[in-house]
């Protein structure tokens, strides 16, 4: 593999190219007209414009990207996350054109893209699943009987959904039919596939996911868990590894379940198996994400691996040289997603110019960043600016360092989620480790951020006054 094209933008494009460079592989960036001056374009050895700003005319144009790859003699394509990363047709197109797709084979992407096909596939592998139906619902009265057996509340999920899209809670029997009708028509509209199924609703779960890595020779390992319960409307905000609540025994069990999920679909490369964990620490398989995830750095830090390097190696056909029994968790890592969104105003995207943009630096701080001072934030894409990652020997150390790093991250020109990250890190529920997926809904309101800012301003004013008075005294003494 001499030349790698990264079919993505922003921080992840740079992140992937960093490892490619380290491995002596030439890099090709693709970019839209909106990204002409973006850091990922400058960072690459070669860069090609693939179309206008809207992603369906640029970053989603698989055909264009293949064309560029052939022209430039590209050996492999890394899709990053989002865009084409979980597009089975694109993986197939790469396969058909003899270009290595850095990810699993198209078949695994397709199976895991359908929640029902995924359930069917893992069935023989003894994976715990939430009680529910495992086939698309065609007969609503029959489904109602099943729902009554399971017990309300239940959740209707779209098979083609995922990441929270196409879900509906049904609290009781009387609303079952109407909710079912709506769910089916919504699924048809959103995904072109009206298949839905039902599950018992797990009321206050944690979201725990396991990082897996598989080679072409049947070796599959897991790289422990990530705790991703701090999320807002299915958008993760803070992630960490390891989870504050897993015991070594539970970790081993969930890790083995994740490995089995990967085996069930002949998985190759980096993947993530999502689980719900209930209050009694029962875990249930939800879905598998067949890509490198945004939050992969926290796993890299505690496991001491470079996941992109492993992805590239297994894509070249190499054997995983890591054995499960040799892997161990070292310390604790925390990630805050820094979005150009206004936490005071319902997290509305806050686009504009990055008038000031200064990153925190230091030992145990990593910033995976895609922006620089003076840039405009394009309106066309996800407004994530960077990921701020901190590490500590203990969870407390990682949290303290995160607060310090947030304070040393200077952004002016747009609103960001930095202040929100500080709120999370200072919250008792977060610090105690006793929280679930309802954390944000339960504890956050903009007024708290306001209060916090006022409090900080007051403290700063007090300190300033103290210094002022001290100086006054110093001045007074000699006289």
Q: Would you name the residues annotated as active-site residues?
A: 291
359: contact with ligand MV4 by CB under 6 A = no
Q: Which stretch binds ligand MV4 (CB under 6 A): 181-189, 201-209, 216-224, 260-268?
A: 201-209
128: contact with ligand MV4 by CB under 6 A = no
202: contact with ligand MV4 by CB under 6 A = yes
| Closer Cβ to ligand MV4, 350 or 437, answer by number | 437
Contact mark string toward ligand MV4, 84..123, x via CB under 6 A: ----------------------------------------
Q: Which stretch binds ligand MV4 (CB under 6 A): 195-203, 256-264, 341-349, 352-360?
A: 195-203
Instruction: Tell me the number of residues near ligand MV4 by CB under 6 A.
Output: 17
Output the six-digit token pair for 188.
Answer: 């048809």
Q: Which residues pair with 3 in a beta bridge?
A: 26
Q: Which stretch binds ligand MV4 (CB under 6 A): 16-24, 101-109, 198-206, 310-318?
A: 198-206
Nearest residue to ligand MV4, scored by beta-carbon proximity: 207
Q: Which of 287, 295, 300, 382 binds ligand MV4 (CB under 6 A)?
A: 287
Output the six-digit token pair for 438.
Answer: 């309802």
Handedness of CA 235, 239, 242, 244 (dihedral sign): negative
| Closer Cβ to ligand MV4, 201 or 371, answer by number | 201
| Closer Cβ to ligand MV4, 231 or 299, answer by number | 231
* d(C-alpha 315, C-alpha 266), whole Å: 14
Q: Which of 121, 293, 415, 437 binds ligand MV4 (CB under 6 A)?
A: 437
Question: Edge to edge, what strands does the sheet with 3-6 contain?
Answer: 46-51, 26-32, 3-6, 76-78, 100-101
| Closer Cβ to ligand MV4, 35 or 239, answer by number | 239
211: contact with ligand MV4 by CB under 6 A = no
Q: How far is the CB of 228 from ligand MV4 (least distance, A)?
A: 7
155: contact with ligand MV4 by CB under 6 A = yes
Cis peptide before 153 (omega within 30 of 0): yes
Q: How far is the CB of 439 from ligand MV4 (least distance, A)?
A: 10
- Indicate the burial class of 108 (C-beta count within 10 angstroms; 0-12, 13-18, 19 or more): buried
Q: How far is the CB of 235 from ligand MV4 (least distance, A)?
A: 9
Residues between 233 and 252 with contacts to ligand MV4, criterion CB under 6 A? 234
CA distances in angstroms from 283 to 199, 248, 279, 435, 469, listed in the order given: 14, 14, 10, 16, 58
Q: Which of 205, 271, 343, 392 binds ligand MV4 (CB under 6 A)?
A: 205
Q: How far is the CB of 69 from ligand MV4 (least distance, A)?
A: 32
Q: How far is the CB of 115 from ligand MV4 (least distance, A)?
A: 9
Q: Which residues contact 252 (CB under 8 A, 6 or more apart)?
A: none
69-107 residues labelled b (16+ CB within 10 A) or e (exposed): beeeebbbbbbbbbbbbbbbebbbbbeeeebbbbbbbbe
Q: Which of 163, 218, 317, 433 binds ligand MV4 (CB under 6 A)?
A: 163
337: contact with ligand MV4 by CB under 6 A = no
Whether 312 and 25 have beta carbons less than 8 Å apart is answered as yes
Helices (H), 238-304: 248-264, 296-303
Output the six-digit token pair for 120.
Answer: 């069917």
> In the Cβ-directed half-sphere of 267, how many Cα atoms lie within 13 Å?
31
Q: Which residues contact 36 (CB under 8 A, 6 or more apart)?
A: 49
Q: Which of 66, 286, 367, 388 binds ligand MV4 (CB under 6 A)?
A: 286
Q: Which of 35, 274, 335, 368 binds ligand MV4 (CB under 6 A)?
A: 274
In 3D space, the residue among 45, 47, 13 whose CA is nearest the CA of residue 33 turns out to be: 47
In 3D space, the residue among 197, 126, 137 whose CA is nearest the CA of residue 166 turns out to be: 197
151: contact with ligand MV4 by CB under 6 A = no
Q: How far is the CB of 177 from ligand MV4 (least distance, A)?
A: 20
* d(C-alpha 337, C-alpha 215), whole Å: 30
Q: How far is the CB of 132 from ligand MV4 (least distance, A)?
A: 7
| Closer Cβ to ligand MV4, 69 or 121, answer by number | 121
| Closer Cβ to ligand MV4, 182 or 234, answer by number | 234
* d(C-alpha 247, C-alpha 451), whole Å: 37
Q: How far is the CB of 245 from ligand MV4 (least distance, A)?
A: 15
> In the Cβ-directed half-sphere of 122, how many Cα atoms lie within 13 Å?
27
Q: How far is the CB of 323 from ligand MV4 (least distance, A)?
A: 30
In 3D space, the residue among 408, 409, 375, 343 whose CA is nearest the CA of residue 9 turns out to be: 375
Q: Which stretch binds ligand MV4 (CB under 6 A): 172-180, 200-208, 298-306, 318-326?
A: 200-208
Binding site for ligand MV4 (CB under 6 A): 130, 155, 163-164, 199-202, 205, 207, 231, 234, 274, 276, 286-287, 437
């Amino acid at each position: 593999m001499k030349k790698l094209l990264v079919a993505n933008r922003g921080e992840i494009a740079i992140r992937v190219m960093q490892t490619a460079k380290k491995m002596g592989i030439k890099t090709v960036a693709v970019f839209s007209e909106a990204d002409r001056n973006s850091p990922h374009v400058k960072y690459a050895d070669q860069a090609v414009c693939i179309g206008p700003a809207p992603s369906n005319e640029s970053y989603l144009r698989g055909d264009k990207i293949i064309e560029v790859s052939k022209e430039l003699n590209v050996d492999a394509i890394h899709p990053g996350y989002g865009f084409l990363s979980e597009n089975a047709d694109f993986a197939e197109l790469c396969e058909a054109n003899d270009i290595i797709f850095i990810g699993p084979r198209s078949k695994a992407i397709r199976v895991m893209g359908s929640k029902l096909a995924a359930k069917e596939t893992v069935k023989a592998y003894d994976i715990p699943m939430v009680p529910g139906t495992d086939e698309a619902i065609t007969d609503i009265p029959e489904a109602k009987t099943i729902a009554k057996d399971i017990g309300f509340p239940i959740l209707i999920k779209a098979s083609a959904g995922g990441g929270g899209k196409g879900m509906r809670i049904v609290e009781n029997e009387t609303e079952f039919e109407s909710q079912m009708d709506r769910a089916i028509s919504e699924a048809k509209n959103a995904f072109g596939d009206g298949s839905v199924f039902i599950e018992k609703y797990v009321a206050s779960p944690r979201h725990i996911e396991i990082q897996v890595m598989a080679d072409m020779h049947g070796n599959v390992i897991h790289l422990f868990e990530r705790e991703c319960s701090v999320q807002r409307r299915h958008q993760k905000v803070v992630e960490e590894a390891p989870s504050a609540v897993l015991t070594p025994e539970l970790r081993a069990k969930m890790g083995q379940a994740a490995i089995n999920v990967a085996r069930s679909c002949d998985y190759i490369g980096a993947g993530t198996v999502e689980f719900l964990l209930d209050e009694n620490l029962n875990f249930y398989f939800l879905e598998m994400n067949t890509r490198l995830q945004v939050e992969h750095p926290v796993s890299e830090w505690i496991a001491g691996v470079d996941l992109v390097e492993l992805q590239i190696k297994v894509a070249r056909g190499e054997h995983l040289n890591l054995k499960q029994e040799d892997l161990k968790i070292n310390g604790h890592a925390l990630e805050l997603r820094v979005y150009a969104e206004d936490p005071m105003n319902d997290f509305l995207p806050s686009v504009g110019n990055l008038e000031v943009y200064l990153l925190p630096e230091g030992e145990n701080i990593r910033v995976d960043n895609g922006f620089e001072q003076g840039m405009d934030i394009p309106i066309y894409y996800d407004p994530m600016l960077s990921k701020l990652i901190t590490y500590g020997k203990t969870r407390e150390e990682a949290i303290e360092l995160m607060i310090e790093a947030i304070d040393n991250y200077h952004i002016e020109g747009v609103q960001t989620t930095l202040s929100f990250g500080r709120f999370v890190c200072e919250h008792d529920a977060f610090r105690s480790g006793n929280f679930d997926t309802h954390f944000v809904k339960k504890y956050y309101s903009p007024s708290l951020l306001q209060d916090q800012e006022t409090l900080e301003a007051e403290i700063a004013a007090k300190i300033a006054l103290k210094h002022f008075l001290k100086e006054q005294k110093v001045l007074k003494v000699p006289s």
